[in-house]
Structure 1
Amino acid sequence: MDDQMSFLPQPNLANIEVSAVLAALADPVRLTIVRELNRVGESTCAALDVPVNASTVSHHLHALREAGVVTTRVAGRTRPSRLRVDDLQKRFPGLLPAILDATPAQDPNS
């Protein structure tokens, strides 16, 4: 059994740009995914409780990974993702907690 985990490509900590993180989190579905990952710790796209199908979640996780917000490991045929909490805290202290603690906007139609 191989003890070394494989991860999908992601930016190095020094190369994560705050503009890329904020742009990725500006999408409401991505923000929902980030909040859900914060709640559950690690999950595959199919197991996340978000209001879009798994292929759409996969697309959004890819964008979040490219921005440096999540890391995704290869586990057999699955690709569980988790927030890069410690990395983001080192790079942008307080940013992720501020975003996660922000009250979601009210739906004007409700």
Structure 2
Amino acid sequence: MRTLDHPSMQDVQLDTVLAALSDPIRRRIVAQLADGHDDQACIAFELPVSKSTSTHHFRVLREAGIIDQHYRGTSILNTLRTEELAQRFPGLLDAVIAAHHAYA
């Protein structure tokens, strides 16, 4: 079974999370995950970028510790690490999502 590497939440750094969330496409992905259901496939996101660029954005979010990705068949499913992030950085994710909705 194919797997993807994810950082342990204790290794996730605030600077890395903030850098990942500085991009509007990545904030859009995070907001959609927050507003939708868990386990959304990458193809469920209508992003104004190429497939390879979209893949890059998902990888940045995963490596920053913001999302969890796992394979189901040939699809990669994405889940926001909401509870873990809230414990590590209280209020950060809620503030980012609220700001995204306010300015989107």
Matches within 5 A, 1:24-43: 24-41=20-37, 42-43=39-40
Gaps of 5+ in 1: 106-110
TM-score, normalised relative to structure 2: 0.87
Does 2:55 correspond to 1:58?
A: yes
Q: Which moved more, 1:96-105 or 1:84-93?
A: 96-105
For 1:97, which of 84, 94, 99 is the aligned residue? 94
Gaps of 5+ in 2: none
TM-score, normalised relative to structure 1: 0.83
Structure with higher Rg: it is 1
Q: Distance in 2 between matches of 1:17 and 1:85?
A: 15
Greater share of residues in helix: 2
* Deviation beyond 3 Å, 4+ runs, structure 1: none
Closer, same or farther in 2 for the Cα pair 1:87/1:69, shift >3 Å?
A: same
Please, what is the CA RMSD of the aligned residues? 1.7
Q: Which moved more, 1:66-75 or 1:53-62?
A: 53-62
The structure with higher relative contact order (CA 8 Å, sep 6+) is 2
Does 2:71 correspond to 1:74?
A: yes
- 1:37-75 CA distance string (max 9 Å, x none): 112233122111322233322110000000000000111
Closer, same or farther in 2 for the Cα pair 1:7/1:97, shift >3 Å?
A: farther
Match of 1:13 in 2: 9
Which amino acid is the alignment partner of residue 37 of structure 1? L
Shift of 1:6: 6.9
Q: Distance in 1 between matches of 2:3 and 2:83?
A: 17
